[in-house]
């Protein structure tokens, strides 16, 4: 099957990390998020992916210079101007010549959804479109999708007030579409598949369905969720090692080749220490993903944080709930809390 992946957003909630790196290319446990998403699709039989691009499109082409990843053919659809989720889907599908059912995935969703099960559900109901649903504790920040017993969609309720949602099952951002759905989307016009295309399909019964799933799901688009994604992946939420080549030294503690950890260091899981990273004597690291070539100095403390490649935490520094971009240096004895920090341009 083919898939369209929507990766054109600016990732504004993760600035300044996304000023020079598109959100889908930020790493989750030392692997670019988009690579994880492509691997997931490949495991479910997707052989061609069209990346719907808008923001920093050249970064994607540079990251995948051969136009493929793990046997999946990649194509690039660069929007001339923002087209919204529906417009982007049509633009990308038209460019790829999609003429059979296909998947659509948002480029900021980490999930274990069985795409084969979603396609089978879609086929069994002879649907025109099928939406993946997940249950959340507080649906007030999401699009809520109540359904009939057979999964047919009743309505769409966008961000209901707390306590007033008709259900706690929300639109999880993965769809199966028949190519006929593209005819319902105006060409070259900014439009929303969630707020316009899908609601209009409710005018006729038997076209739009939704499948509930209890598998792992997380939207990585905010700082707290981005941090949570690292901890979840290292803890095994995807049912896989956090990154290829990592070895689990003890439950929840993973080391990549070349990582050096002083025997006096205290590691509290989940922790991933990247290739050729070094953690000095007396350091304390908890709930943290450490990238390649990073250094954590003598007596430093790092909690619930992410260190991208080359980051340095100085001697006796104290870092918590932070994301340090590539090559960021935290000075000796500094205290850093709740920060998204990147290097200043040279």
Q: Are 114 and 44 in contact (CB under 8 A)?
A: yes
Residues 281-315 have pLDDT tens digits of: 999 999 999 999 999 999 999 999 999 999 999 99
Instruction: Report the percentage of the chain scoring pLDDT > 70.
Output: 99
Q: Classify strands 312-313 and 295-296 as parallel, antiparallel or unpaired.
A: parallel
What's the CA gap between 204 and 184, in Å, rounded? 13
Burial (CB count within 10 angstroms: exposed 0-12, middle 13-18, buried 19+), residue 247: exposed
Q: Check whether 345 has a pLDDT greater than 70.
A: no
Q: How confident is the model at residue 346 (pLDDT cuts 50, 70, 90)?
A: very low
The shares of helix, strand and coil residues in the chain, as percent rounded to the nearest 5, are 25, 30, 45
pLDDT at 141 over 90: no
- Phi and psi, residue 198, nearest 5°: -65, -50
| Domain 2-219 sits in CATH 3.90.550.10 | yes
Q: What is the mean pLDDT of residues 141-158?
A: 89
Q: Which CATH superfamily is domain 241-341 in?
A: Hexapeptide repeat proteins (2.160.10.10)
DSSP string, 129-152: EEEEEEE-S-GGGSEE--B-TTSB
Average predicted confidence (pLDDT) for the chain: 93
What residue segments make up the domains of the chain, in order of their start?
A: 2-219, 241-341
Structure confidence at residue 76 as a pLDDT band (50, 70, 90)? very high
C-alpha closest to that of 79 among 50, 106, 103, 104: 50
pLDDT digits (tens, 9 = 90+) for 186-239: 888 899 998 899 999 998 888 999 999 999 999 999 999 999 999 999 999 999
Instruction: Count CB neighbours of 159 within 10 A.
Output: 13
- Residues 133, 211 contacting (CB under 8 angstroms): yes
Tell me how many degrees the CA angle 169-183-207 measures, rounded to the nearest 5.
40
Cis status of the peptide bond prior to 16, with omega within 30 of 0: yes
Strand partners, 247: 255
41, 115 Cβ separation under 8 angstroms: yes
In DSSP terms, which residues pair with 145 in a beta bridge? Answer: none
In the chain, alpha helices (H): 33-43, 57-63, 84-96, 115-124, 198-201, 223-235
């Amino acid at each position: 099957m083919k898939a369209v992946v929507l990766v054109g957003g600016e990732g504004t909630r993760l600035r300044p990390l996304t000023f020079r790196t598109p959100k889908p290319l930020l790493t989750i446990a030392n692997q670019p998020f988009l690579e994880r998403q492509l691997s997931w699709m490949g495991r479910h039989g997707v052989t061609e992916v069209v990346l719907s691009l808008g923001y920093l499109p050249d970064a994607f082409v540079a990251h995948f210079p051969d136009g493929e990843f793990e046997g999946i053919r990649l194509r690039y659809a660069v929007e001339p101007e923002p087209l919204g989720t529906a417009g982007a889907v049509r633009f990308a599908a038209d460019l790829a010549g999609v003429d059979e059912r296909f998947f659509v995935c948002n480029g900021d969703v980490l999930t274990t959804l069985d795409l084969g099960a979603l396609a089978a559900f879609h086929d069994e109901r002879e649907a025109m479109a099928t939406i993946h649903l997940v249950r959340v504790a507080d649906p007030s920040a999401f699009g809520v999708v109540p359904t009939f017993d057979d999964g047919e969609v009743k309505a769409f309720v966008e961000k209901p007030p707390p306590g007033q949602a008709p259900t706690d099952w929300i639109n999880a951002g993965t769809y199966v579409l028949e190519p006929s759905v593209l005819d319902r989307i105006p060409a070259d016009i900014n439009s929303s598949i969630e707020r316009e295309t899908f609601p209009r399909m409710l005018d006729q019964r038997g076209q739009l369905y939704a499948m509930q799933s209890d598998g792992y799901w997380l939207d990585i688009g905010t700082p707290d969720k981005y941090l949570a994604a690292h901890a979840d992946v290292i803890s095994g939420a995807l049912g896989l090692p956090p990154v290829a080549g990592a070895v689990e030294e003890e439950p929840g503690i993973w080391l990549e080749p070349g990582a050096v950890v002083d025997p006096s260091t205290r590691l509290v899981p989940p922790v991933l220490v990247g290739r050729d990273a070094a953690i000095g004597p007396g350091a304390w690291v908890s709930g943290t993903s450490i990238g390649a070539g990073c250094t954590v100095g003598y007596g430093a403390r790092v909690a619930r944080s992410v260190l991208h490649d080359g980051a340095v935490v100085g001697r006796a520094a104290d870092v918590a709930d932070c994301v340090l971009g590539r090559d960021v240096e935290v000075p000796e004895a500094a205290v850093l809390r709740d920060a998204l920090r990147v290097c200043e341009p040279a």
